[in-house]
């Protein structure tokens, strides 16, 4: 059980560490969604998170040693 606490002019909640670990929330930006009867808290996943690794694995799985890697190293922001 947790309660709202005052943080400056806002309010927040303290989430127990075991819940943070089980929900894989530690060190991540969080997404908040209103749902019927409550609030859903989930980790915010980057839109392109893991794409580079997935592409590299696909290339290797197809038996190619590499592809033009210049574009793979471009920032994804």
pTM: 0.50
How does pLDDT run across 52-69, given as a tens digit for each residue?
788 888 888 877 666 556
How confident is residue 34, by pLDDT bands cut at 50, 70 and 90?
Answer: very high
Number of structural domains in the chain: 1
**CATH assignment of the domain containing 30:** 2.10.260
In a domain, 61, yes or no: no
Does some domain include residue 26? Answer: yes
Cα–Cα dist 61/27, whole Å: 32
**What domain range is 8 assigned to?**
4-43
């Amino acid at each position: 059980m947790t309660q709202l606490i005052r943080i400056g002019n806002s309010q927040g909640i303290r989430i127990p560490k075991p819940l943070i670990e089980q929900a894989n929330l530690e060190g991540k930006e969080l997404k908040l969604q209103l749902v019927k009867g409550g609030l859903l808290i989930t980790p915010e996943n980057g839109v392109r998170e893991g794409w580079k690794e997935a592409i590299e694995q696909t290339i290797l799985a197809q038996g190619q040693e590499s592809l033009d890697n210049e574009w793979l190293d471009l920032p994804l922001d």
